[in-house]
Structure 1
Amino acid sequence: MAKPPADSRRAAVCDWLTANGINPNHVPVDSDLTIDDTEQGRVIRYEAFVLNDDGRFQIDERGQHPAREPRTTPLHQEPPEWWQPYEKPTREQLTEALDGAYRERAHLVALLAAMTDGAVIAPAPDVDEPGWQIAYLTIGGRQATWHISPRDAGLFAHVEPAEPDDPRAQWDGHTTEEKYAHIAAVTTELAQRCGPACAEGHTYTGRCEGAGEACAQHPNAPVIGGMCGGCTIIPPTKETPDAQH
């Protein structure tokens, strides 16, 4: 059965809660809402705001949000046919999802490090938990850094380790926003210079190295020092920040 529009669904759920003796105004929008079978019969499990003696929302222990508590009530009327039970992810599920995202990021940073000259990894001075490191890369002539968790350290076995006081392992003050803005600019420049045909040969200099011949985008270009001359001689575009420094 096709779901009705969102506003209609919300109104229908509110009507359903009301029919089961639940005040929908006391149920948070993100409340768990399920139907369970118990020895006493089928019940609706949900969360509700806690009210004080004056009927106002009670604030939680942190003093930031309305307090809520789990409740159950007998199911007297079945929900709409399209309704689906909802349970918020647990802390463990959220942590697992976040760890998975960081693991994927670490794989990509490790790949960048393998394609970047001069990459080093050093202990993270700003993290108290032991084992954390920072990968220092130079992309398009600028520093880019990433924190690497202990569980992802094995992905960086190919990266040269450095001591905390190594000049190559000193943060230059760039922000996360600046880092990714610069990476986006470098990506655009590399794509415009050569395109995907020789993208795997790109280095932080923007040149295609290792092939020993001209790339597919510049088939008639000379080979200079084992590099595609067509890629090597093209100067940075004016739009690229590095061209200004």
Structure 2
Amino acid sequence: MNPVAGAGYPTQEELAQTLQPFLEKQAAEKAELEARIEQLHWERNCCISLIAQMAECLKLTIGLGADPKEPEWPVVFLELPSGQVSWHVPMSEIDNFSFLGAYFYGWDGHTTEEKYDRVLNSDLIPELYYAPCS
């Protein structure tokens, strides 16, 4: 017997009915956020593909490698004058990187912070002005 039944407390069914609209709204918002995140990842990966194409034009060392901890996620490795940078890309978008060869040198242990510090300090601007891409 429920000691609170009839004591002015809602039943479990009444609570479920009260919460249902809130839960449905939360689920819809979550789905919307997940779709937006997926779109942002796709846009990021398009930019990485462009970076890879530009890196090849500049004759920088670049290629696809593997992460032993996440073998289902290929890794784009790029050697900048400031050091190695890399990005995991989903297998579903690997066709956007089909022009890349293999990268055999392995990950140098850089952190995300180090990666973007290297990107911002790559000193590639002079090369970009004089790089014939053919």
TM-score range, shorter chain: 0.5 to 0.7
- Once the two structures are superposed, what CA deviation does each residue of 1:66-125 show, in whole Å capped at 9, x if it has no partner? xx97727xxxxxxxxxxxxxx445333222211111111111111111111221102331
> TM-score normalised to the size of structure 1?
0.39
Does the C-alpha gap of structure 1 residues 176 and 69 become closer, same or farther in structure 2, counting only changes over 3 Å? Answer: farther
- What amino acid does structure 1 have at the position aligned with 2:81? G
Is 1:103 the equivalent of 2:42?
Answer: yes
- Once the two structures are superposed, what CA deviation does each residue of 1:145-172 show, in whole Å capped at 9, x if it has no partner? 000111211110111134xxx2x2x110
Matches within 5 A, 1:60-75: 71=18
- What amino acid does structure 2 have at the position aligned with 1:209? A
Q: What does residue 127 of structure 1 align with?
A: 70
Find the partner of 2:115 among 179, 183, 199: 179
Matches within 5 A, 1:27-106: 71=18, 87-88=25-26, 89-106=28-45
Q: Distance in 2 between matches of 1:69 and 1:177?
A: 45
Instruction: Report if the CA contact (8 A) 2:82-2:121 is conserved.
Output: no
- What amino acid does structure 1 have at the position aligned with 2:46? H
Higher relative contact order (CA 8 A, sep 6+): 2
Q: Please report how far the alpha carbon of residue 140 of structure 1 lies from its aligned counterpart in structure 2 after TM superposition.
A: 2.5
Q: Distance in 1 between matches of 2:16 and 2:115?
A: 43
Q: Distance in 1 between matches of 2:16 and 2:117?
A: 44
Q: Please report how far the alpha carbon of residue 181 of structure 1 lies from its aligned counterpart in structure 2 after TM superposition.
A: 1.6
Q: Distance in 1 between matches of 2:16 and 2:121?
A: 49
Q: Please report how far the alpha carbon of residue 208 of structure 1 lies from its aligned counterpart in structure 2 after TM superposition.
A: 2.0
Larger C-alpha radius of gyration, 1 or 2? 1
> TM-score normalised to the size of structure 2?
0.67
Q: What does residue 99 of structure 2 align with?
A: 158
Q: Distance in 2 between matches of 1:98 and 1:149?
A: 14
Higher relative helix content: 2
For the aligned residue pairs, the C-alpha RMSD in angstroms reads: 2.7
Instruction: Report if the CA contact (8 A) 2:64-2:77 is conserved.
Output: yes
Q: Distance in 2 between matches of 1:183 and 1:100?
A: 23
Does the C-alpha gap of structure 1 residues 190 and 138 become closer, same or farther in structure 2, counting only changes over 3 Å? Answer: closer
- What amino acid does structure 1 have at the position aligned with 2:118? H
- Give structure 2 stretches of 5+ with no counterpart: 5-14, 20-24
Matches within 5 A, 1:17-32: none
Higher relative strand content: 1
Q: What does residue 115 of structure 1 align with?
A: 54
Q: What does residue 209 of structure 1 align with?
A: 131
Q: Distance in 2 between matches of 1:106 and 1:134?
A: 11
Q: What does residue 139 of structure 1 align with?
A: 80
